[in-house]
Amino acid sequence: MNRSLLRTEPVPEEGEDVAATISATETLSEEEREELRRELAKVEEEIQTLSQVLAAKEKHLAEIKRKLGINSLQELKQNIAKGWQDMTATSAYKKTSETLSQAGQKASAAFSSVGSVITKKLEDVKNSPTFKSFEEKVENLKSKVGGTKPAGGDFGEVLNSAANASATTTEPLPEQTQESL
């Protein structure tokens, strides 16, 4: 075997000038071409053999998995769990998680602060002279409608007393006779 045949010329990359490599094949002797054809056939045969071996190994793998009761769904679950575990171990995930946690804490503090401000404002409104005046007017109306009850009570009591007061002040309807129907 000729050692010069083992030296290979670089394979042209995609987009390279193929015409430059064609001229190299024109300078080969007939003996060198024949040697290259034999080598090509040998490599193609090795590739075919390796493909068959790979197919046999994949079939054997599938048989082992079947005997162990491992199905595609279980493999998918395992792959997802492993992927999640790998992802959570990355520094990018840890940094993002930490940043989101800090943002959540800041948002929580902001909402708490807003709640405190709203509570204080509502207390200010309740203690304002306008609200006190409105409250007195409601109490006066309540005492006129419901009679003399002590101030306070809940809304349900106010409604009940107003309903009772209106029921006692209305005049009864005249009875209807059979003829008017």
Mean pLDDT in residue range 12-27: 60
Sign of the dihedral through C-alpha 103, 104, 107, 108: negative
| Percentage of the chain modeled with pLDDT above 90 | 28
Alpha helices in the chain (DSSP H): 18-26, 30-68, 72-88, 91-126, 129-146, 155-169
pLDDT digits (tens, 9 = 90+) for 83-131: 999 988 999 988 999 999 999 998 988 888 888 889 888 888 888 888 8
Selection from 48-52, 100-104, 167-171 with the highest mean pLDDT: 48-52
pLDDT higher than threshold 80 for residue 66: yes
pLDDT higher than threshold 80 for residue 163: no
